[in-house]
Structure 1
Amino acid sequence: MMAIMPSSEAPQPAPTTDAGRAALDAVVADPARALLALDFDGTLAPIVDDPEQAAVHPRAVAALDRIGPCLGKVAVVTGRPVLTALRLGGFDDRPGLSRLSILGQYGAERWDAQTGEADIPPPPAAIAEVESRLPRLLDDLGLGDVALEKKGRAVVLHTRRLADPAEAQRRLAGPVAALARSHGLAAEQGRNVIEVRDPSVDKGRALRDLVAQTGATAVVYAGDDLGDLPAYVALQSMRAAGEVRALLVAVASAEQPALVPRSDLAVDGPEELADWLERLADRLGC
C-alpha cells in the first residue's frame, strides 16, 4: 500500500506563471525585503453566516507566527474595521507577529503591533445617511430579512442566511447602487454581500503605500473576492513596471472564482492556504 505523505511534508504547490515563480524565488532569496499581505474573510478566515463568528484558521495564524520574524513585513489588508480584525484574528498575542500591520477598511484604518496603536479616522457622514435609509429600501423590496452589518466607514448587506442568497443579492444590486451613488458612495459586490463604502480607498492604494513604506522588492498577496481585485491590479501594474516582483494567490471558492484566472497560484479555500503558509515557513527555515 502506498504511504500518504503528511500535508506538512508534501511539496508546496508551485505558481503556474513565470512571474509568480520569480516572485516566490525572490522572497526565499531575500526575505528581509519581502512583504506578505493577506485578506481576512475567505482568505485567512473561512466565510461564516455570522461575521462576528469568523476566526482565522488556527494553522494559518500559527504559520504566520513562524513566518513573521523571517520576512520584512507581514500585513493583513481587509475590509473589516481594524480593531475587529485584530480581535477576531488573535494576532496580538503572537510573538512572531510583533511587526504585523493590519490595514482595515481597505486601508483607511491602520494598527501596528510595534506600537499597539490604531489610527482610525472618522467615518464619512454619508454612511450614516445611507444606513438610515436602508431599512425602508429593504422593506419596499420585500427583503427585510437581509442582515445589515454596520462597520463605521461602511455598511454591508448580507444575503447568506436567506433562502436564495444569490437572487436576493441580484434584486438588491440596482437599488443599493443607486442609493450609494446618490450619496457619493460605491456599492461593491462580494460573496453574498453588497458593501456600501467610500470609493476613495481600496486595497490597491493600500498596498502601493505599504510597498513604498517598507521598500519591499517582492510581494505575495492572497485574496478571495472582488474587493481584492484592486490589489491584484496594483501589483500587476507595479510588476509590469519592474518595481516589484509579485506573486498573486487566489483563495478559490465556488461562490467567487473571479481571481483565479488573474492569479499566479490558486489554493482551495483557507484550509489549503494554511497548508501553503506552513510550507512557506518550512522553505524559509522559520
Structure 2
Amino acid sequence: MEFVSAAAEGRYAALVRAAAESVVGLDFDGTLSPIVDDPEQAHIHPDAADVLVALAAQVRAVAVVTGRPARQALDLGGLEEVADAVHASGKDLYVFGQYGNERWSSDQRRIVSPRPPAGLATFERELPRVLREGDAADAWIEDKGLAVAVHTRRLPDPTAAFERLEGPVGDLARAHGLVVEPGRHVLEVRSPGMHKGQAVDTLVRLTGASGLLFAGDDLGDVEAFEAVSAHGRSGAATLLVAVASEEQQALVERADVLVSGPDEVLELLRTFTADAEALRA
C-alpha cells in the first residue's frame, strides 16, 4: 500500500474525519476478488466479509460497483450474508451490477434491472464470425443478460488476441448501437449511457454522503474515479484507490493510493476502519 503524495495522505486523514458521513465503493474483480482465468470462479477474498461488516459500522454505506451482473456478485461474494450483518447494524450495503444498470440493496433485497438493449441479441449472433476472422474462435463469450463479454484470457496469447479483436468487435458493437468497455483481457459490449460514474452519483444521492472512497482496477472504473473527483471539487472528502497491474495502468495517474491486489485493498480498509473507530472513541 502506497500513498502517492503527501497531499494524498492528507486526503486520507480528511476522509477518516468524515467517515460517518462517507460511503465506500468497491469494484469486484481484481479489487475484492482475484483475477482468474474462469470469471465464474472469482470468489471474493476469504477475509472480505468480515472486513466489509466492520467497515460498514464506521461509514454511512458500503457499495460493490461492478461490471458483473448483480446476481453473480451477490453469489460469488456471499454478499447477501454480509448484508444481513450490515443491515442489523443499521447500515446499508448496495450492489450496483452491470456498471450501474442493476441495483440491489440490503434494504430492498431485489434486483432492479432494465430490459436488455436493442441490438444485443443480433450482435451476439454475429459475434462468432468476427472471432473467427480475428483468429480467436475459441475466445469465451459470456452472456450477461444486459451485456456480452468476450474474454481472451484463456487463449494461448491473450494480449495479441485482445488487440486483434478490439477494433472489429468495436465496429460490430457500434453497428448495433452498442458500446465497448475494454478491460483486462476482456471486451464488454453493452448499451451506451450507463457507467460506474453514474452509479457513484446515484449512491451519493441515495445516501446523502459527503465523503467518498472508491477502489478499482480497470478501465471501467475510470468514470467512477472521475465522478469521485468531481464530488471532491464540490467539497466532499475523497480518496481514490487503484489496484496497479501490468495489464492496466489507466487508474494509476488518478489515484491517491496504490495497492497490489485484494490483500492490500483489505489491508487499507482495515486501517481506515481502525483509524475511524479510534477517532470516534
| TM-score, length basis structure 2 | 0.92
In structure 2, the residue matched to 1:78 is 66
Question: Quick check: 1:32–1:70 contact (8 Å CA) kept in 2?
Answer: yes
In structure 2, the residue matched to 1:166 is 159
- Which of 94, 97, 100 in structure 1 is aligned with 2:86? 97
Question: Quick check: 1:149–1:156 contact (8 Å CA) kept in 2?
Answer: yes
Aligned ranges for residues 195-234 of structure 1 at < 5 Å? 195-234=188-227
Residues of 1 paired with 2:8 and 2:77: CA distance? 27
1:18 to partner: Cα distance:
5.4
In structure 1, the residue matched to 2:168 is 175
**How well do the aligned residues superpose, as a CA RMSD in angstroms?**
1.6
In structure 2, the residue matched to 1:9 is none
1:31 to partner: Cα distance:
2.2
Residues of 2 paired with 1:121 and 1:212: CA distance? 20
SS at match of 1:93: helix
Letter in 2 for 1:270: P
Aligned ranges for residues 131-150 of structure 1 at < 5 Å? 131-150=124-143
In structure 1, the residue matched to 2:29 is 41
Confirm whether residue 68 of structure 1 aligns to residue 61 of structure 2: no
SS at match of 1:221: strand
Confirm whether residue 50 of structure 1 aligns to residue 50 of structure 2: no
Residues of 2 paired with 1:96 and 1:16: CA distance? 34
In structure 1, the residue matched to 2:12 is 24
In structure 1, the residue matched to 2:258 is 266
In structure 1, the residue matched to 2:241 is 249
Question: Quick check: 2:15–2:238 contact (8 Å CA) kept in 1?
Answer: no
Deviations 1:27-50 (A, max 9, x none): 322322101000001111101111
SS at match of 2:25: strand
Residues of 2 paired with 1:84 and 1:19: CA distance? 37
Change (3 A) 1:126 1:19: farther
Residues of 2 paired with 1:96 and 1:267: CA distance? 27
Residues of 1 paired with 2:147 and 2:26: CA distance? 20
SS at match of 1:285: helix
Deviations 1:118-176 (A, max 9, x none): 11221112111111111122122221110001101110000001110010001101110
SS at match of 2:34: coil
SS at match of 1:256: coil
- Which of 112, 117, 135 in structure 1 is aligned with 2:105? 112
SS at match of 1:118: coil
Residues of 1 paired with 2:121 and 2:6: CA distance? 46
1:19 to partner: Cα distance:
5.2
Residues of 2 paired with 1:159 and 1:130: CA distance? 18
Residues of 2 paired with 1:250 and 1:44: CA distance? 12
1:208 to partner: Cα distance:
1.2
1:187 to partner: Cα distance:
1.3
What 5-or-longer segments of structure 1 have no aligned partner? Answer: 1-12
1:60 to partner: Cα distance:
2.4
SS at match of 2:209: coil
Residues of 2 paired with 1:217 and 1:125: CA distance? 37
1:285 to partner: Cα distance:
2.7
Matched length: 273
Residues of 2 paired with 1:33 and 1:159: CA distance? 41
Question: Quick check: 1:82–1:111 contact (8 Å CA) kept in 2?
Answer: yes
SS at match of 1:231: helix
Confirm whether residue 152 of structure 1 aligns to residue 140 of structure 2: no
What 5-or-longer segments of structure 2 have no aligned partner? Answer: none
In structure 2, the residue matched to 1:190 is 183
Question: Quick check: 1:109–1:121 contact (8 Å CA) kept in 2?
Answer: yes
